[in-house]
Amino acid sequence: GDQVEQSPSALSLHEGTGSALRCNFTTTMRAVQWFRKNSRGSLINLFYLASGTKENGRLKSAFDSKERYSTLHIRDAQLEDSGTYFCAAPTSGGNYKPTFGKGTSLVVHP
C-alpha cells in the first residue's frame, strides 16, 4: 500500500482564511519535505524537516516521526497560494528514494 497518505485531496479557501494539510506515513520516516506546484508546473520547495516545526511567513510545518505524520498549516491564505501541495519522505533503510503523497489541490478564492 501507499507509504504516504496525503489529505485532503482538494481544498477550497477564501482569502484570509487558513487550513491544514496532512500527510500520514505507514512507516517511520526520517524526514519530510513539502512542495508546492505552481501554475507554471514548477515544484517549489517549502520545507524540509527532520523533526519539530518550521515556520516561514504564513506557512508552518510540523513533523512527528514517532506518530508518523506531518502537517502544513496555511494562514491568511492569498490567491497566489493556489496550487498543488505535495509531501515527500525518504523510505527507510539504505534505499533513499523519496516517496510522494498524491497531493492536495488548493484553490484560494477572492
Nearer to other proteins, 50 or 107 (CB): 50
Nearer to other proteins, 40 or 66 (CB): 40
Q: Are 70 and 62 in contact (CB under 8 A)?
A: yes
Nearer to other proteins, 3 or 19 (CB): 3
Q: How far is the CB of 9 from other proteins (least distance, A)?
A: 9
Distance set, CA 107 to CA 23, 29, 89, 104 (Å): 19, 29, 24, 10
- Taking CB under 8 A as the rule, does residue 45 contact other proteins? yes
The residues pairing with 2 across neighbouring beta strands, listed in sequence order, are none
Nearer to other proteins, 10 or 17 (CB): 10
Q: What SS3 class is residue 46?
A: strand
- Taking CB under 8 A as the rule, does residue 102 contact other proteins? yes
Q: How many CB atoms lie within 10 A of CB 44?
A: 12
Rounded Cα–Cα distance for residues 86 and 70 (Å): 11
- Taking CB under 8 A as the rule, does residue 40 contact other proteins? yes
Query: With contacts defined by CB under 8 A, how many residues of the chain interact with other proteins?
Result: 24
Select from 13-21, 63-71, 72-80, 87-95 the region that touches other proteins (CB under 8 A).
Answer: 87-95
